[in-house]
Amino acid sequence: MLVRGVPVRADSVALHDYGVSEQNGDIRPILADATTTLARAGVATPRVDAELLAAHLLGVSRGALVLAGPLNAEQAGRYRRLVADRAARTPLQHLVGTAPFRRLELAVGPGVFIPRPETELLVDWGLAGLRGDRPVVVDLCSGSGAVALAVADEYPGARVHAVEVDAAALTWLRRNVQRYRRGAGSVTVLAGDATSPAPLAQLNGMVDLVLCNPPYVPSGTPVDPEVADHDPPGAVFGGPDGLAVIRGIVARSVRLLRPGGRLGIEHDDSHAGVLSDLLREAGAYAEVTGHRDLAGRPRFATAVRRDIPTGRLAHLPP
């Protein structure tokens, strides 16, 4: 999430007249020009993005581009605009309309946080510990529904509840749940604050697994233009220390989880020790563990709900 970058004006990027190649319709020079344009604009993966935009335009897989013929005039104009928009740092996922997440292709666009590959590791951990025919799973701060739908897709018996407070994100969440209503398992969408007792009060003490990818970037942290200009700020920034929502999630999950139920929360690189301390200080969690992403950065923390006396629950937030 925290890839830094420099905004680039769309009118400062050299654009080429993509069209019929002089090399027997070979699309490779067209992609090379687009790659150069995107690289100059500071895009992190210019060749990949150039190919994915072309594949989207032509309605083929990225691998099938080697068989593609030349672009006609109409296609060339559309491709030129797509490359210009990407060079201006419009997210690739907004331009193609979807974001891959595990086995799913999720609809995304303005108003919803784009799911990131590192969150797939949180889902890996969650799925690995599920048992039984009908486990109860809660996805807090659900956004596009990536976590909820991935669990439902890969553990079809799970009863998954997705909680989201933002109206725009809820629109995308419901669209994705509707899209996968037959292929994935059961997902119930709930509108509400993930830290409030209201949305899931009926599940207190019954939940087997809580997963959460909350807003956790400390306010004022430099982020890429794709994040700063297109991801909803409320889904990215978590207050001065990045923990404003996380504190509420830690407390709320004590009530939701059954004894032995598990909690996994994604966090900022700087939160590894702090979040582990928050979990231990809550007095209701055991087996507090930090996990790293594929780049070796601290990325999420997990814990198991202890069996604590009912009297102690009375002193915890509802």
Q: Does position 315 have pLDDT exceeding 90, yes or no? A: no
What pLDDT shows up at residue 29?
A: 87
Q: Choose between 1 and 293: higher pLDDT.
A: 293
Q: Does position 203 have pLDDT exceeding 80, yes or no? A: yes
Domain 102-313 has CATH 3.40.50.360: no
Residue boundaries of the structural domains of the chain: 10-89, 102-313
For the domain bounded by 10-89, which CATH number is listed?
1.10.8
Q: Does position 282 have pLDDT exceeding 80, yes or no? A: yes
What pLDDT shows up at residue 17?
A: 52
Q: Does position 91 have pLDDT exceeding 50, yes or no? A: yes
* Tens-place pLDDT, residues 35-82: 999 999 999 999 999 999 999 999 999 999 888 888 888 998 999 999
Q: Pick the range with the lowest mean pLDDT from 37-51, 67-81, 164-178, 280-294.
A: 67-81
Q: Does position 8 have pLDDT exceeding 70, yes or no? A: no
The answer to whether the predicted template modeling score (pTM) of the entire model surpasses 0.85 is: yes
Q: Does position 9 have pLDDT exceeding 60, yes or no? A: no
Average pLDDT over residues 142-146: 98
Residues in the chain: 318
